[in-house]
Structure 1
Amino acid sequence: MMKYTLNIINKILILSFFIVVSYSCSSSDDSVIIDKTTAKELLNVSYGNETKQVFDVYLPANRDESTTKTFVLVHGGSWVSGDKNDLNDIVAKLKETYPNYAIVNVNYRLAGIGKSPFPMQIDDLESVFTKLKTKANEYQISSNFGFIGISAGAHLSMLYSYKYDTDKNVKMVCSIVGPTNFTDVNYTENPDYLEISQGIQLVTGVNYETNPTYYKNISPYHVVTSSAPPSILFYGGMDNLVPTTQGVEMQAKLDELGVTNQFKLYENEGHGWEGDALNDTYTKLENFINTHF
C-alpha cells in the first residue's frame, strides 16, 4: 500500500496528451486445462479489446470451483492513472496470509479529457466478473468475490458492489481512502478541496451545479442499500484528497442501513500510510476477512 500524492488536474492534463503504451500479453490459451493441484500465475489475461483491459490471476494449489474464493484488487490513481503493479505488495501479502484464496489484480481503462471514467470503468469491472465466471471451471474458482480497492479503485469497488452487482457475487468490500460522496460539502464548498472537485468535473465532463444528480448516482454513499456486502473502511485524518467526512459519513450510512461494517480513521495519516499504521490495517483487514469472507 503506497502513498498517493496525485495532483488530479495535472494528471488529467498530462494524460490527455499521451497514448497508453501497449502491454505484451501472456494470457493462457483458453483450450488449456489448468492443473488444479498446483498453484498457477496467469499474467495480463485479456478481458476486453483494449490494452488496459487485462488482469493478473493467482490461483492457489488444490483449489475447487465450489469453495475457492477470490480477492479482486483495484488500483488507485484518480481514475486517470495507476496500474495493477502498484498493488503487487498487497498481492504478496494476501498470498502469504491466504494461501487457499485466488487473487485477481485488475487493470482498467484510464480516463482523460473527453473520456469519462463513468460508466467506462464500471463496465470494465463487470467485464472482469463476466470473464471470471466464464472461466470458473478452468480456473477452479467459485463465484464468491471480495474487493480490496485503493483510492479511486476503492470508489469503483464500492460503487460496483453497492449498485451494479445484481448477482450479489461480491461478499466483501474494503475501501482504503476511497471517495464515497461527491456531493459532500467539502467537495462542493471547501476551498481546500476545490482543485479535487474541479478535476473530477473536468474528467467527467459534467458540471456539478447543473447536474448534481449525476454525482449522486456515482457516489457509493447515495446508492448503497441494506443488501450491501460487509464493508471495511480505512481513512486518513490528514488526507488532502479525500476528506475524513467521506469515511465518517459512509460508516454512518452503513450503520443506518444495518450493513455489517468496520471503520478506522488514522488521525495522523494522509492519503496512504506505512509502518505501524499499515501493519494495523493488515491486521484489521485480516480479522474482517476471517469473519466475513
Structure 2
Amino acid sequence: MKANYFHRLILAIGGVLISCLPQEGDLDPPTVLPAKSLTNESYGAHPRQVVDLYLPANRHENTPTLILVHGGGWIEGDKSDMHPFRDFLREQFPYLAVANLNYRLADAAHSPYPMQLDDIQALVTHLEEHREEYRLGPRIGFLGVSAGGHLSLLWSYTRDTKGSVQMVCSMVGPTDLLDESYRSSSDPTLREMLDVFGENEALLTAASPVYQLRSGAPPTLLFYGGQDPLVPNSQGMGFRDRLSALGVTHEFHFYPNEGHGWLGLNLLDSLVKLKSFVEKHLPDGR
C-alpha cells in the first residue's frame, strides 16, 4: 500500500499555510539550543532500524515528538516516502521534534506482526533513553500512511503503557485484517501484502486495530477515500463507528471520489485538518 499519491503537492501546499516567519533584524528571544538533524540514527541492530531525527531550536524538557511511519504494504517502502510530510510538519510546527523511521520489512518468513510493532517500540524506548541528550519530553504523536497508518494505530492502542501518545493520525490505513473482502480477495497485489500475515485468526485479530481499540485510546484522526482499491469503505466507517461507541475523541474525514491517496484541493483540505488536529492535541509544552 504505497503512500506515493500524497507526496507530489505537499510541499507546495504547505507554503500556502505557513505563517510569516521572522525577518532578519526582528527582535526575537535568544535561542537556547540550535536546531539539530540526526540522519540514520540507529535505534536497533538491524540495518533497517534507523531513524532521521529532527530536533527543533529552543527545545526543552517537554518538547513533543511526532513519529512518521511510512507505508508500502508492510513489505516495502522507506522513510524517504515521508519526506514531504516531514517538511510540512517542520514548517508548520517549529516547536515539534520529528522522528522519521525505517522498520524491518515483512516477507514469507517474517510476519509484520509483531515484528514491526517491536521496531516502533524499540524507537520509542530509544527516545526515552536519550531524552536528556536530545532534550525532549515524553509526549509523542503518530502520523502513518497506509500500512504505516495501520501500524501507528495498532502501536498506540496496544503498546502505549505509559500514556505517552497524545494523538495518532492514520491516512488510508487498514483497520480490519479479518475483513471478508480481504480474506476472499484474489487480487495478486493485495494477496502479496496480506499473505505475509498468514491465516491464523487469533493473530489477525491481534493485528487489527478495530479489535484492539478500547475506551481511553488517544485522540484519533482518520482519512479515507471512497474509491480506495486496497481499503474497503467498510473499514474506515466501521472503525469510525467503533470509536464513537467507545467515546474516543476522533475525527473521520471521507473523500468519496478519491482512492488510496489524493492530490489537489482534497490534499490541501487534509493538511489543514491535520494541522488543526496537531495544534489541538500535541501543542508546545511550555
TM-score interval for Structure 1 and Structure 2 normalised by the shorter chain: 0.7 to 0.9
**What is the CA–CA distance in structure 2 between the aligned matches of 1:260 and 1:149, rounded to whole Å?**
18
| Unaligned stretches of 5+ residues in structure 2 | 7-30
Q: CA deviation at 1:186?
A: 2.3
Higher relative contact order (Cα pairs below 8 Å, separated by 6+ residues) = 2
The aligned length equals: 256
Q: CA deviation at 1:256?
A: 0.5
Q: Does the CA-based 8 Å contact 2:171-2:222 persist in structure 1?
A: yes
Match of 2:223 among 221, 224, 234: 234
Question: Does 2:268 align with 1:279?
Answer: yes
- 1:148-194: per-residue Cα shift (whole Å, max 9, x none)? 000000000000001111112111000000000111222234x4x75
**What is the CA–CA distance in structure 2 between the aligned matches of 1:226 and 1:102, rounded to whole Å?**
28
Paired AA for residue 94 in structure 2:
P
Once superposed, which parts of structure 1, at least 4 consecutive aligned residues long, lie more than 6 Å away? none
Alignment-derived partner of residue 3 in structure 1? 5
Alignment-derived partner of residue 112 in structure 1? 107
**What is the CA–CA distance in structure 2 between the aligned matches of 1:82 and 1:123, rounded to whole Å?**
18
Q: Does the CA-based 8 Å contact 2:75-2:193 persist in structure 1?
A: no
Paired AA for residue 203 in structure 1:
V
Alignment-derived partner of residue 20 in structure 2? none
**What is the CA–CA distance in structure 2 between the aligned matches of 1:212 and 1:129, rounded to whole Å?**
28
| Unaligned stretches of 5+ residues in structure 1 | 5-34
**What is the CA–CA distance in structure 2 between the aligned matches of 1:138 and 1:36, rounded to whole Å?**
14
Partner secondary structure for residue 191 of structure 2: helix
Identity of aligned residues (%): 45
TM-score, structure 2 length as denominator? 0.86
**What is the CA–CA distance in structure 2 between the aligned matches of 1:98 and 1:195, rounded to whole Å?**
40
**What is the CA–CA distance in structure 1 between the aligned matches of 2:125 and 2:103, rounded to whole Å?**
14
Question: Does 2:45 align with 1:43?
Answer: no
Alignment-derived partner of residue 60 in structure 2? 64
Alignment-derived partner of residue 267 in structure 1? 256
CA RMSD of aligned residues (A): 1.6
TM-score, structure 1 length as denominator? 0.84
Question: Does 2:243 align with 1:254?
Answer: yes
| Aligned CA distance change for structure 1 residues 194 and 256 (closer, same or farther; 3 Å) | farther
Alignment-derived partner of residue 212 in structure 1? 201
**What is the CA–CA distance in structure 1 between the aligned matches of 2:4 and 2:193, rounded to whole Å?**
22
**What is the CA–CA distance in structure 2 between the aligned matches of 1:150 and 1:86, rounded to whole Å?**
10
Alignment-derived partner of residue 16 in structure 1? none
User: What is the correspondence of 1:87-166 to structure 2 with a 5 Å cutoff?
Assistant: 87-166=82-161
